Amino acid sequence: MKRFFVILATTLSLCSCSVLGGINWNAEGLVSAAGKAATAASISDDMVVELSRQTIAQMDAQSVIDHGAYEQRLSRVLSGLKDLDGLPLNFKVYKTKEINAFACGDGSIRVYSGLMDVMDDDELTAIIGHELGHVRHKDTKRAIKNAYVASAARDILASAGSYGAMASALLGDMGEALVSAQFSQAQEYKADEHGCQFAIDRGKNPYSMYNALEKLMQLSDGGNGSVIAHMFADHPKTEKRMERMKKMADNYTASKN
Ligand SMILES: [Zn+2]
């Protein structure tokens, strides 16, 4: 199956010893909390934030982070964007050929250099707006919760590794959930609308979201499916999404004339 990666992650800083809700969030606390977490409903918002922070911290540590031209371009494209509904945002570029971006519920946004290579500034803005939509709509929060529960439900906790190794495996599972999140069609539609509006609000081409979707579909046709993920799972759905984004841009343009 062709998969497209656009991952939006919020940045989280590792806090190995904070106390949240009576849980000591070092590696041991992370694992023993997982052992007790039977359902998504039992996971508090504070836990989600801390899980997100630790997940991103691990991903950052395992990635090559650009501090050159990519970082400069991203900060120019997103200049002035400091928070989302009061949630402080932070951005980093992962240097990789993969075409992806993701956001995490703590305000961390991670953009892959492979995505920046194929998108112009307007399209990049729309895609980041799409990912911010997933954060604003709490989609990423649910993804983290579900991944944590699924991971805890497996026998990973019964393995003979150290707490550190088990915690690392848990965080790896949650990172994977962010990178290849499978959101529902309704969630994607809402995130697309958010991306389109975000681009418009920042003075970009109203067709930026539409153009970005079209470009990703063309790239997948060119045999690049292995490096593209998440938002663009299959063509009928992508075409439907493009249709909706064209209509939204048409309506906006008509309202300005
Ligand atoms: Zn999405």
Pairing of strands 101-103, 108-112: antiparallel
* Whole-structure pTM value: 0.80
* Beta-carbon neighbours within 5 Å of ion ligand 1: 188, 191, 231
Distance, in Å, from the CA atom of 218 to the CA atom of 153, rounded to the nearest integer, reads 39
Say how many Å lie between the CA of residue 180 and the centre of ligand 1. Answer: 10
Residue 98 a catalytic site member: no
Select which of 50, 98, 123, 131 is catalytic.
131
Say how many Å lie between the CA of residue 132 and the centre of ligand 1. Answer: 9
Say how many Å lie between the CA of residue 231 and the centre of ligand 1. Answer: 5
- What integer pLDDT is reported at residue 43 of this predicted model? 76
Mean pLDDT for each consecutive 10-residue tract of the chain (257 residues)? Answer: 32 29 52 60 78 89 96 96 93 93 90 95 96 90 79 56 68 78 85 96 97 88 61 69 96 92
CA 2 to chain centre: 19
- What integer pLDDT is reported at residue 212 of this predicted model? 94
- What integer pLDDT is reported at residue 230 of this predicted model? 56
- What integer pLDDT is reported at residue 23 of this predicted model? 38
- What integer pLDDT is reported at residue 219 of this predicted model? 83
